[in-house]
Structure 1
Amino acid sequence: MFAHVAEHAHLYRALLGPDGSARLQDHLRHRMTVAIHVSKQHTAPDDGDSTHVDDPADIPHDVPAAFIAGALLSVAADWVRRGCPGTPEELSATVWPLMVGASP
């Protein structure tokens, strides 16, 4: 994700900056929450209760997924506002332990 943000930093800086669109930020956060939720479903052991989502609006309330999506979006916004210090790999290495700690 951070490699993509770095490649398009000028766009993300405009979209996530102080003059950016709150509607777009909400859309990105929602899409990321859905992606994290679905990813968790695909990596979880199959207990017969897996959620199949045809419509993203049908995902159940997933607090950890929403938390992680919001955190990642905030980190990306802060990173581009500061001129993308360091590499995407360095940022990922810093964020990864935080994400693992936030996962149930």
Structure 2
Amino acid sequence: MNLDDPRARRTRAALHAALRELAAERELSDVTMSAVAARAGVNRATLYQHYRDLDALLTDAMEDTVAVVARAAALCPLDAPPDVAPAPLVDLFAHVADRAVLYRRVLGPQGSARCAARLRDRLAAELAARFATGARPPRVAEVPVDVHAAWLAGALLGLLDHWLAADRPAPPAGIALATWRLLRT
């Protein structure tokens, strides 16, 4: 299958949207491939041509997470003051807050451990690629790029899970500032 084909891209986009909608309505354990196919308006055979299982579809549908987190990491100015969260970090938490139910279901205890691990690994790879260009604080220069990327990916996903699990999560600007202060230590 040619993933650059406009029909394949439309089908994948429909499958992503269907899965995100279903995950916002019910626990991931209650979402089936049949339900995703029906919601997307495609048959199951078409769905299986694109994804081998729900975890693979979920990981691909959550790819925007990787892009948003990597963008925030890449765009955060290294010399920003400790008392003001950089705008990309605030944008990251606002993005997650807007999709809180979905993120809670993916990252939480009832979520998909395989999907969370794949997201962490993809995020670490994206961060490592960005860090390899030298976009890192000087104080971590002696830390290998892959170690820094793995640490940051795990820390951010763990923090998102913790933040979303709270009964009354801090507003995005508040958690962004706390995160920024931690990142600067």
What TM-score results when the alignment is normalised by the length of structure 1?
A: 0.72
C-alpha deviation, 1:61, in angstroms: 7.1
Q: What is the aligned-residue RMSD (CA, Å)?
A: 2.2
Aligned residue among 18, 27, 30 for 2:118:
27
Structure 1: 4+ residue segments shifted above 3 A:
42-45
Describe the shift of the 1:65–1:86 C-alpha distance in structure 2 as closer, same or farther (beyond 3 A).
same
Which position in structure 2 is the counterpart of 1:49? none
Q: What is the percent sequence identity of the aligned residues?
A: 40
Please list every run of 5 or more consecutive structure 1 residues that lacks an aligned counterpart in the other structure. 46-59
Higher relative contact order (CA 8 A, sep 6+): 1
Work out which of the two has the higher radius of gyration on C-alpha atoms and give 1 or 2: 2
C-alpha separation in 2, matches of 1:6 and 1:44: 27
Going from structure 1 to structure 2, the CA distance change for 1:8 and 1:84 (only over 3 Å counts) comes to farther
Residue 93 (structure 1) aligned with residue 167 (structure 2): no
Residue of structure 2 equivalent to 1:71: 155
Q: Do the aligned partners of 1:16 and 1:77 also contact (CA within 8 Å) in 2?
A: yes
**Counterpart of 2:132 in 1: which secondary structure?**
helix
Deviations 1:31-72 (Å, cap 9, x if unpaired)? 211221122233449xxxxxxxxxxxxxx9711110111000
Q: CA deviation at 1:92?
A: 1.2
Q: Structure 2 length as normaliser, TM-score?
A: 0.43
Extract unaligned runs of 5+ from structure 2: 1-91, 137-143
Q: 2:104: which partner in 1?
A: 13
| 2: CA distance, partners of 1:94 / 1:27 | 26
- Partners in 1 of 2:156 and 2:168 — Cα distance? 14
Q: Specify the alignment match of 2:130 in structure 1.
A: 39
**Equivalences, count:** 87
